[in-house]
Structures are given as C-alpha cells and as structure tokens.
Structure 1
C-alpha cells in the first residue's frame, strides 16, 4: 500500500520522540536513584564511624575488657545513647545474632534480616525497604574491639524525605520532558506539513502533466529549496509548452511544404505534359500530311520549335533547382559591377517591350571571387523577375556599391505588395506567391535559383516591401575576404 511522505514523517517523529522520552525518563530516574544510593551509603558510613567511636570510648571509660560479656552489659546504654545521638532506631545483637537490646523492636520485626546475616558473617551490609511513600534503610555491621568481634550493631534509619523529594524531582522532570517533547512533536508535525503539502501539490501537478494537461502553475511564496523547486517546475512546464509549440509549428510547416511540393509536382507534370502533347500532336499530323500542305507544315514546325524551347528552358530550370552547389566549378577574380552593367543593358530591351525602364547606378571596380556565368544568371533572374512583376510604365532601380568589405546590390521595382509572410517564402523552390501573377510557361523557380547562387558565393539575400516598392537586397564579400571554395 502506498504510504505518503507525510505519514512517514508523522510515524517516524512519533517513534523517535517516544523512544527518546522513555530513554530520557529512565536515565533521569536511574541517575537520581543512584545519587540516592550514594547519599544513603554516605550517611550510613558516617553513622558507622560515629557509632564505632562511641563504643570505643565507652569501653575505654568503663575499662571494659574486649569480650562479649561486657558488650552485652552495656547494650542498653548503647541503644539509648546511639538512638539519641543518631536519631535512628538501634538494636544490639550478640555475635550470634541474638537480640540484646533495642530502641524499638517493632521497627526490626517482620522485616528482612539479610543485613543482619551478613553482619553475623563479619560483613557490613544494608538494604532499603520501600513501603508506599516511605523508605527505610536497615544497616548492620560487626563491632570489633582490639581485633575481636564483640557484637553487632543494627540501625533502622528513615530516608523517606530523601526519596520523596527524589520522586517529586522525577515527576517534575517527567512532566517537563513530556511537555517539551509534545511541543517538539507538534513543531515537527507542522514542519512536516509545511514540507509535504507542497510536495503533494507538485505530485498532483506532475500527474496532471502526465495526463497531458500543461495548464499547471504552482506558486509557493517561499524562498527555500521547495520554492526554488516550484520555480524550476514552472520553468520546465513553460519550456515543454515552447517545445510543443515549436513541434506543432514545424509540423504545420512540414505539412505546408508537403502540400506545396505536391502542387509543385502537379504543376510541373502539367507544364511538361502540355508542350509534349502539343509537339506530339503536330509531329503526327506533319507525318501524315508531309509537305503537301506547306503552310500547315511551316506552322507546325514553328510550333514544335517554340514548344521544344519552352520545354528545354523548363528542364534547365528544374536542373538548377536540383543542383545544390557548384563546387566543381572554379572561382575566379570577377568584376561583378561590369557583369551587372552588361545585364542591365541587355535586359533594357526586354523592359522596353513591357514599357518599363531600367535605371542603374553601379560603382567601378566591384571585384569578387566568383563565377561569372553564375553571377550573370543571378542578375538576369532578378531583373527578369522585376520586369515581370513591376507595375506598368514603372522604373526599375538597380544599385551596386562597395560598403567596407562588402558589395551591396539593391533591385527596386514598384509593385503591389504581397502578404508579409510571403516575402520570406518566395525563395523556396516549391512556393508560388500567386498563381495569377505567374507568367505563362514559368514555374516561378527563378528566385530559388537566385538564392542558391548567392549562397554559393557565401552572400546573403532578402526581399521586403517598402514605400510601394518590392526591394531585393543582397551582399557579397569583396575581393580580399574569404574566398569561396
């Protein structure tokens, strides 16, 4: 059965405190009783010394000889004198244990005589008799005069007051210790609750998280380890949420890419199928009619040539997309500015056909390490894209200049805007911003080729919309910087 930490704390503290209380109480009791034993022993030793002095003086004063007869003669006097001087009941016995005189025979009758037996054997002995609230010590020792045992003295001394006071001390310590341990246990209980309640909440929260509920927020207004644990727990939940959000975004992007790729291949299938079907149809008709219809023959051949060129251009663009880099081509010292000027001049005729103009501002000596053919293709694609999608009767602006160790190239053309998110996606090979604006026969692949060429030259490119113009900005390292490899 599952046992909570709180229950373990309570049971553990209870066992510890009970055992500690019992051990302390027993230790105190034994210590006090041991001290009482020492006090009793000390008193009885003094009693023996004083009584021996008295007996010796009595023998000296009365000139008694050291024999039992004279000891028994003075027994009554010894009992009276010692009872008066010691405040104890006294009995005098012969060396055989026969009672000779006693101050109170009832104090010695019907009580243990182990101490008397020891004295008969020649030993000093005592034992304590406890009777309810009373404590009485029976003490016996043999009296020896000049090396001869002449009799036995036995004392009955009351130590009730000593043991009563000791008992009161033991009771007082018992109740004080009980109160202290009760307070300590209560404090431990509160402390255990203070520790276990947050842990219980953390356990419940972790169970909710395991079930998929991430809307968990734990707030412990504490500045200890548990408070820090709660902060770490909340941060962990926040990071999990961020990770899940990232995964969901990646999943959505992957789904979108898959859909774009499907649309791309659907379009490419259609684009390839159309010219092939047209070429095949005209070829079969020409084969049937031969040169009998010269007008149809010329028309068919021209159509086959146009469709073949269209198909050829389309295949070349597809090959450009599938090509990741041009590592096998050599990089040379190239005048990027000169190439751009030539492209602007050659593309100006195409722009005029669309009733548009190209305005170029290009600095001299813009040398880079690169591939002239690839850079020319880069500039052609950018200008071709600007011509196609710029507004009617507009002016396309081209700038190229050196800025520190970089060459900055900017292409601007007035145009209606796309959505902001589309500008970051236009360089994707499978993305088309608008099916309506795509030129017939074009797959919209030019910008993806542009991006590939820029990356080959270790440059950077971006597209954005500003002041009613679509702007393409890129930068390439000038000669003397890191050479492409």
Structure 2
C-alpha cells in the first residue's frame, strides 16, 4: 500500500508541476503579447499624430483647400516624406479606397484589408500579423482636415525586432521555469522518498511481527516524527516480546505445577489407598474369624494400629501443607537449644532402628522468638529426613550455635548421603516434590522439607541445602530474640 502511496506522491507532484508550468508558460506568453500590443498601439498612436501634423502643415504651406483633389495631388510627395520620416511603407487612398500612391505595393498586396475597410468607414484600425519571431502591422486611418475627410493613409510597419526580442525572452523564461520546476520536482521526489521509504520499512517490520518475528527492530537516525515513531515501534515490540516471554514462563510454571499436583495426587492416592486396603482386609478377616486364630488376630490388630498411625501422620502433614496460613499458637521466647536436645533424645530410638547415631553439639542461650510447637516440628522433620536418607551406619551431626555477629541462631544438620544434583537441590523445597532417592520410606509423599521451608519463612529465617562429596548439609538460620525479624503473623 505504501508503495502505491509513493507512486501517488510522484504522480501528484508531476501533475501539479506540469499544470503549474503550463499555466505559467501560457500566462507569461499572454502577458508579453498584451504588452507588445500596448507598445504597438502606443507606437501607432504616435505615428498617427506625427503624420497628421505633417499633412496639416503640408496643406497650410501649400494653401490647399479642404478637398480630396488636393490630397491626391500631394499624395506622392506625402507618401515619400512619411516613408522617410517613419521608416514605414506608406500608401495613400482616396475616400473611396482607390490607391493613389504607395512606397511598396507588395507590402500591402495579398494581406487583409480589414483595417482599410474600417478606415473608409471613418475609424482608425490596425491588424497585426506575426509568425514565429517576425511580426508586422497594417495601420489605416482617415485624414481629416477641418472636419472633412480628404483621404486614407495606410502604413505597413515592421515589428520583427520586437517579436524577436519577445521570443528570446519567452525562450529564456521557458527554460528557466523548466529548470526551476524540474529542480522542485526532483526535490519533491526526494522528499517523498524520505517520507515513504521509512513507512515501507515500518510496514515490512509490522508484517514480520504479524508473522511472529519479534526480533526485528527499526534503525532510523532521524529526530523528526518518523524517528520518534520508529523508537515507539521498537519500544512496543520490546514490551510485547517481554510480555510474551513472561506469559511463556508463567505457562511453563503452571504446567510444572499442574504436573507436580498430578504427581502429588497420584502419590497421595496410592499412599492412602495402600494402608486403607490393608486395614480393610485385616478388619474383615478379624470380623469373620474373631479371636479363633489368636496369632492372626494379634498380627492383624498390630498391623491395623501401625497403618492407622501412619495414615494419621500423613493426614497431619497434608493439613500442615494446605493450612500453613491458618492461625498458629501465640509466639513467645523459645529456648531452641533445650527444644532441639529433647527432639534429638526422642529421635535417637528411630535412628537406632536404622542403625544410625545422632551427635549433638549445642551452645548455650539459643533463644528465638517463635512458636515452640512449630519449631519442634521443624527439628523433627529435619532429623527424620536426615535419618531416612543418610548412608548406612551413618553418624548424623547436629550443631546449634550463634553466627559471628550474634544476630541469628544457626542450626546445621549434616549427614553422609548420596550427592544430589543441582536440579534436585533447586526443587527439594517444593511442596509436591517427592525426590528421586534410592531409599524412600513407605508412606513418604515428599512433604517434610516443604513444611520445614514454610516454618522457617514464617519465623523470618532462611534455609539452604548443600550436597557435595557424599555429604548433605541443611543449614537453618533464625533471628535471635530481640533482633529484627522473628515470627510472621499469619
């Protein structure tokens, strides 16, 4: 479309300049011809006045009476004198139009007699004949002496020099106007290109954007409106590109979350379904057989109790994840050293079950402002995770101390284990992450570290996990009591 616009510019300018040139040329020619007619008329009026003075003087000198007879007698002498005085060919006629004398009859032969006829009727008239750069005039008027028409004088005057000069002026003006209009047209053409070429590039760029290419940019070194338009176009494409990238990231994130939710749902369904099926099977057999088989009865009841407890723990974990923004217990000063020692003592039995050992190193005065129950759950989950995923016969080191500036309290849980990949470390705190462990305790659905992360965040702390050279370390830092930070209100 813009290529058509450029063509419209060129054709429009061409027509305007052609029309202007034509109008100017015709106007100049008409003006010069009108000026020439005015000059000729003025010259002929002066010619008539001089001729009348001469004829009147000739009549007075010769004491002729006022009749055409004497006009005819002096015609030859009068025509010769007027010829010499005016540098024009002269003819004298009677009042009836009969030629009396002429300096050169060929100058009057074969030409229009309209001026002569008008002079016979008592009027002064002239006819102009011109071809190219040559021009001549036939001028006739009645000679009147004392109110009586005595004859006709007719002049043939050459004005070729005037028309030659006029032709030269017209030629100069023609070529000058042509040069001016060609220059103006060339300038207009360059101006139209200066305007339309950027528009063509913008059209091509917008077409590329429609096709999905957002890497295209316009580069115009211009400070005018088109330059600002190009800058706005580039800014718009940049924003569209960033918005699309953001949408793509959100789409990928939502896709990943959907996959994690589906995986979580499948895991929970499986983990809930397995113990429920086992409980239901044992319960139905016990209801049918009663206590007739005491060994099976004791075994079944033990299994039902264990599976029920496991289900209870799973449900509590699920509730913790889904209601982590619910109203918590009131925050207070908590001696985390004492709390961590109690947790380690209670978890020692579980560690021995897996033939592992817990080593505790604590400083005194590890007091934070927080919720004791949730902090206990934090330590339990971290110790439980270290026990489950540490190597066989492992020694789990638990350290509680203050940082160098004593503004935070640090808890470190270190145990030998398989080295985790950076991808696993990046997603280990996600709420639906179940990990990719060689060993996974039955009933685990990957909620422990997610719960730990939420407790640390709510207490204004930070947590990080490192895994290298066959050792996994989890470090938790909580603001010390009286320092900026602490528990976040739900």
Instruction: State if a TM-score over 0.5 links the two structures.
Output: yes
CA contact (8 A) 1:387 1:396 kept: no
**1:304 aligned to 2:300?**
no
User: Residue 320 of structure 1 aligns with which residue?
Assistant: 320
CA contact (8 A) 2:343 2:379 kept: no
**1:471 aligned to 2:487?**
no
Q: For residue 427 of structure 2, give the secondary structure of its aligned residue in structure 1.
A: coil
**Which runs of structure 2 are paired with 1:45-60 in the superposition (5 Å)?**
45-60=45-60
Report the Cα distance in structure 1 between the residues aligned to 2:87 and 2:487, rounded to whole angstroms.
117
Deviations 1:171-200 (A, max 9, x none): 343344445545555565566566656655
Flag the 1:79–1:383 CA change in 2: closer, same or farther, 3 A.
farther
Q: CA deviation at 1:116?
A: 3.1
Report the Cα distance in structure 1 between the residues aligned to 2:3 and 2:222, rounded to whole angstroms.
28
Flag the 1:135–1:474 CA change in 2: closer, same or farther, 3 A.
farther
CA contact (8 A) 1:367 1:478 kept: no
Report the Cα distance in structure 2 between the residues aligned to 1:324 and 1:128, rounded to whole angstroms.
114
**1:271 aligned to 2:271?**
yes
Deviations 1:430-483 (A, max 9, x none): 1223243544322221333344456666x4745353886333456699679998
CA contact (8 A) 1:363 1:401 kept: no
Q: CA deviation at 1:268?
A: 0.9
Q: CA deviation at 1:45?
A: 2.9
**1:4 aligned to 2:4?**
yes
Report the Cα distance in structure 2 between the residues aligned to 1:119 and 1:379, rounded to whole angstroms.
137
Q: CA deviation at 1:35?
A: 2.7
Flag the 1:460–1:364 CA change in 2: closer, same or farther, 3 A.
closer
Q: CA deviation at 1:304?
A: 1.8
CA contact (8 A) 2:343 2:376 kept: no
Report the Cα distance in structure 2 between the residues aligned to 1:220 and 1:110, rounded to whole angstroms.
76
Report the Cα distance in structure 1 between the residues aligned to 2:269 and 2:487, rounded to whole angstroms.
42
CA contact (8 A) 1:363 1:400 kept: no
User: Residue 284 of structure 1 aligns with which residue?
Assistant: 284
Q: CA deviation at 1:349?
A: 1.4
CA contact (8 A) 2:202 2:218 kept: no
Q: For residue 433 of structure 1, give the secondary structure of its aligned residue in structure 2.
A: coil
Q: CA deviation at 1:347?
A: 1.6
The TM-score, its normalising length taken from structure 1, stands at 0.79
Report the Cα distance in structure 2 between the residues aligned to 1:167 and 1:240, rounded to whole angstroms.
67
Q: For residue 257 of structure 2, give the secondary structure of its aligned residue in structure 1.
A: helix
CA contact (8 A) 1:395 1:414 kept: yes
User: Residue 345 of structure 1 aligns with which residue?
Assistant: 341
The TM-score, its normalising length taken from structure 2, stands at 0.78
CA contact (8 A) 2:479 2:486 kept: no
CA contact (8 A) 1:279 1:303 kept: yes
Q: CA deviation at 1:271?
A: 0.9
Tell me whether 388-397 or 263-272 shows the greater mean CA deviation: 388-397
Tell me whether 93-102 or 18-27 shows the greater mean CA deviation: 93-102
Q: CA deviation at 1:122?
A: 4.3
CA contact (8 A) 1:126 1:140 kept: yes
User: Residue 108 of structure 1 aligns with which residue?
Assistant: 108
CA contact (8 A) 2:214 2:241 kept: no
CA contact (8 A) 2:335 2:366 kept: no
Q: CA deviation at 1:65?
A: 5.6
Q: CA deviation at 1:312?
A: 0.8
Q: How many residues were matched structurally? A: 475
CA contact (8 A) 1:343 1:380 kept: no
Q: For residue 311 of structure 1, give the secondary structure of its aligned residue in structure 2.
A: helix
Report the Cα distance in structure 1 between the residues aligned to 2:314 and 2:44, rounded to whole angstroms.
127
Q: For residue 427 of structure 1, give the secondary structure of its aligned residue in structure 2.
A: coil
From 436, 440, 448, the equivalent of 1:434 is 436
**1:334 aligned to 2:338?**
no
**1:412 aligned to 2:384?**
no
User: Residue 356 of structure 1 aligns with which residue?
Assistant: 358
Tell me whether 385-394 or 153-162 shows the greater mean CA deviation: 385-394
Flag the 1:126–1:255 CA change in 2: closer, same or farther, 3 A.
same
Q: CA deviation at 1:410?
A: 4.2
Q: CA deviation at 1:309?
A: 1.1
Q: CA deviation at 1:156?
A: 1.6
Q: CA deviation at 1:102?
A: 2.8
Q: CA deviation at 1:36?
A: 2.1
Deviations 1:126-182 (A, max 9, x none): 221124542111223344555555544332211112212322332343344445545
Q: CA deviation at 1:340?
A: 3.2
User: Residue 140 of structure 2 aligns with which residue?
Assistant: 140
Report the Cα distance in structure 2 between the residues aligned to 1:23 and 1:232, rounded to whole angstroms.
44
**Which runs of structure 2 are paired with 1:60-459 in the superposition (5 Å)?**
60-64=60-64, 68=68, 70-95=70-95, 97-131=97-131, 133-145=133-145, 149-182=149-182, 185=185, 200=200, 203-204=203-204, 206-212=206-212, 214=213, 217=216, 222-223=221-222, 243-323=243-323, 325-326=325-326, 329=327, 332=330, 334-335=332-333, 338=334, 340-350=336-346, 352=348, 353=351, 354-360=356-362, 366-367=368-369, 373-374=373-374, 376-378=376-378, 380-382=380-382, 384-385=384-385, 388-389=388-389, 392-398=394-400, 408=408, 410-414=410-414, 417-436=419-438, 438-453=440-455, 459=460
